[in-house]
Amino acid sequence: MRRDGRSLRDIRLNPDTACPCGSGRPLRMCCLLPNGELRRRFASLGPPASVTGHCHPRCYLGSTSDCSADISAEHYVSQSVLELIADRALLVGGFPWLPSDQRREISIRSLTANILCARHNSALSPLDNIAGEFAREFKSIRELSQRRSLSRKNKLILISGEAFELWMLKIACGLFYSKNASNNGTRLIDNHTIDEKLLTAALFQGKWGDGCGLYMQATQGAIRPITNTIEMVPYSDVAQKRFVGIRLILMGCLDFNLMFDPVGVNTGSLLGDGWRRRPSELVFRVESRAYTLRLTWAPGTPPLSISLHTRRRV
C-alpha cells in the first residue's frame, strides 16, 4: 500500500450516466457538483421532530437532552459490517479481557451494549449503512481482483468519507461506553474522561478540532490478505486521563485511525510515519484494471490518492 503522491485520477464521467453512489439517479442530479467535483452527501444525524427535553442516564448522548425513554441494545460495530467479515463468529483483539498480543473468536451477537436510547440509535443508523456499504464494496473489489479477466474496464464507487469518519467516532464511543476500551488491562471508563462536547459537535454539526478526523495507514507495500478479524485499539492521553481516539483494523488489511480530541493529535506520538489524513480515494490496481473507492469530503479538503497494489491468485 502506498501514497500515490499525485492528484486524484482523471476519471471522465458522463453526467447522464448512473451516479457511482448507487442511488440509480443520473450523476448530474445526484453527486456531481457545479464545479465538476463529486460529493456524496448524507442526511443530518439529528433526531427528527422537536427536542424531547429528556436525558436518558444510560445514553451516551444524554447531554443533548433529546433522548427517548427506552434504551436500545445495539451493535457498536455495525452488524452489517460484522456479518460481511464473518457469518457467525470472528476474531477480535484489543479488548481488556484479552492479552495485548492475543485474539479470540467470539460471536457477532456479543458485540452489543445498552449505551444509546432508541431515538439516538435510530438517528445514527445511516452511519451503519454507509459502513456496511464500504465493507461490502471493498470485499467485492477484492473478490473481483482475484478472478481471471480480459476486461480492462475500470470501476468507480462513491462513498461519503464524512459519514465513514463519523462511523469510526460511533465505534470509539461504543468501545468506551461499553467498558471495552482499556489501557494495560484497566478499563478507561474507570479513570478517563471523554469530551462529550467534541462528540456532539462532530456528530451533529460536522465540526472537528484541529488535526482531528480519519487517518489511514498508507505505507509502501502490497495489501495484506483479507481475514475474518477486527481489531480495535483505544488511544488515551495518560497525563490528562482523556480518551482521545481509536485505531481500527478491518479484515486484517485496512488500517484506520480516528482522532476526535485535539489533545491526542498534539501529543504527536500517536500518529507515526505513513498515516495520511482523509484520503480522497483508494485505488485497487490489478494488472490493467483499477477499482476505485472514492471517499468524498467537504469542499477544500486536499486531494489524496492511495494506491493499493494486489496480485491475482494463480
Looking at residue 6, its pLDDT comes to 41
Q: Identify which of 232, 231, 234 has the alpha carbon closest to the alpha carbon of residue 182.
A: 234
**Alpha-carbon separation of residue 122 from 45, 74, 129 (angstroms):** 9, 10, 12
What is the band of 270 on the pLDDT scale with cuts at 50, 70, 90?
A: low
The CA distance from 91 to 227, in Å, is: 9
Radius of gyration for the chain, computed over Cα atoms and rounded to the nearest angstrom: 20
| 3-state secondary structure (DSSP) of residue 255 | strand
Band of pLDDT at residue 2, cut at 50, 70 and 90: very low
Least confident window among 194-198, 242-246, 263-267, 277-281 = 263-267
Assigned C-alpha cell, 186: 484497566
pLDDT at 85: 75
Higher pLDDT, 237 or 154: 237
Bridge partners (DSSP) listed for residue 308? 284
Q: pLDDT > 90: what percent of the chain?
A: 42
Quote the pLDDT of residue 84.
75
Question: Which of 297, 261, 293 shows the shortest CA–CA distance to 277?
Answer: 297
Place of cell 444509546: 116
Bridge partner list, 80 = none
Question: What pLDDT does 3 receive?
Answer: 40
| Predicted confidence (pLDDT) at residue 283 exceeds the cutoff of 60 | yes
Backbone angles phi, psi at 260, to 5 degrees: -115, -5
Type of residue numbered 25: R
Encode pLDDT of 196-237 as tens digits: 999 999 999 999 999 999 999 876 555 667 777 778 888 888
Of 67-71, 149-153, 237-241, 258-262, the poorest mean pLDDT is in 149-153
- At 56 the pLDDT is 96
Tell me the C-alpha distance between 25 and 242, whole Å: 45
According to the model, what pLDDT value does residue 67 have?
96
Q: Which of 1-15, 36-50, 58-72 comes out lowest in average pLDDT?
A: 1-15
Please name the helix (run of DSSP H) or strand (run of DSSP E) that holds residue 137, with its range, or none.
helix 125-145
Question: Which carries the bigger pLDDT value, residue 38 or residue 2?
Answer: 38
Q: Could you tell me which of 302, 304, 303, 282 has the C-alpha nearest to residue 293?
A: 282
Q: What share of the chain is helix, strand, coil (3-state, %, to 5)?
A: 25, 30, 45
**Residue 89: how many CB atoms within 10 A of its CB?**
16
